[in-house]
Structures are given as structure tokens and as C-alpha cells.
Amino acid sequence: LATDLGGYAIMVGGTNGAHLTSFSLVDIASHGRACGIMNPYYTVFFAPAIENKLRIVGDIFRRIGFISKDLDKLKGRELGLAVADGMVAFSKSINSPTTLAELPGFSEQHIERALAAAKDPQLDMKLKNMPVPLKAALVDEYMAPILAAAKTGDFSLIKNMN
């Protein structure tokens, strides 16, 4: 049942860049840990396309004390940044890593592997099915900065599509 529901969620709702990236980190992190690290960074990238979902998730983080900003006054990237900050604060509260650099064994090879995987024609549908669809030709322009941000924790490196 869980497999069926997971497949349905990906097919209908769109997969996430964090999910796609996680497969390039399997030698240093579990799938869940990798997704947990990557989600805040992809949240900033996807923010303009998922504002309603961010308001729901952000409100949960706000109610439990991980976001202090008034989310009703934010939109787009600014909303994404506030929710991403809440996600990072939550992860830190449970002593979970929040950057790729915190993972033992992490190297630039992991970023190179993730970028190469994202450009693989067999994974094209995963790129197109994200909340902000990408093409392989745009991976270096948009996904590389997300991975650089995830390495260091610097959200300002992330570029949003116009």
C-alpha cells in the first residue's frame, strides 16, 4: 500500500528535486536524511509555484515555534525563505544535519553526480514533473546553485525562474 501511495503521490503531485538529488547521496546518507537536508533548498526554488502549500506547512512550523514571521505578509521567494528557515530550525532542534557539508564523506563528486543524474534522458520526466519543471539544459543554471546552497547553507545562492 505504501509503495502504491508513494507512486501515486509522485505521479499526480509531482516529484521533488530533493527526492531526485537523494539518489546521488546514497553512499553517505539514507534517502530520508538526504531529502530532509535538501527540502529547504528546493523549497526556496519552488516557492513561487507552491505558495498555498507553503502557507499550510509554514503555519505548522509557526505554531510549534520554528517560524516567527507573519507568513500572511510574505509571498513567493520570501515565503519560501521563511519556511525553509523554519525547516532548518526544526532539523537543528533534532540534531539533524542541515547542509551537505555536514555529511561525513561528502565531496564535490556528490554534486557532480547529482547534476549528471538530473541530465540523464531517462530521468527527464522527474525534472518535468517537479513543481517548477526543468529541462536537462537548465540543470546547470538552476539546480547547480541549489546544490551549492545545500552544501553551505546559503539560500542566497539559489536562483528562481522568472
Q: What is the pLDDT of residue 129?
A: 87
Q: What is the pLDDT of residue 107?
A: 98
The answer to whether the pTM exceeds 0.85 is: yes
| Residue at 57 is within a domain | yes
| Residue at 146 is within a domain | yes
- Mean residue pLDDT across the chain: 92
Report DSSP letters for 8-19, one per residue.
Answer: HHHHHH---HHH
The CATH number that applies at residue 82 is 1.20.1090.10
| Residue at 160 is within a domain | no
| Residue at 27 is within a domain | yes
Report DSSP letters for 68-130, one per residue.
Answer: -S-GGG--HHHHHHHHHHHHHHHHHHTT---SGGGSTT--HHHHHHHHHHHH-GGGHHHHHTS
Q: What is the pLDDT of residue 162?
A: 75
CA distance 126 to 134: 9
| Residue at 133 is within a domain | yes
| Residue at 162 is within a domain | no
Structural domains in the chain (count): 1
Mean pLDDT of 73-89: 98
- Directed axis angle between helix 76-93 and helix 51-63, to 10°? 40
Range of the domain at 135: 2-151
What three-state secondary structure class fits 30? coil
Query: 122 or 46: whose pLDDT is higher?
Result: 46
- With cell 556528490, the residue in question is 110
Tens of pLDDT, residues 8-65: 555 544 568 998 999 999 999 999 999 999 999 999 999 999 999 999 999 999 999 9
| Residue at 50 is within a domain | yes
Range scoring the smallest mean pLDDT among 55-59, 77-81, 88-92, 119-123: 119-123
Asked if 39 and 87 touch (Cβ cutoff 8 Å), the reply is: yes
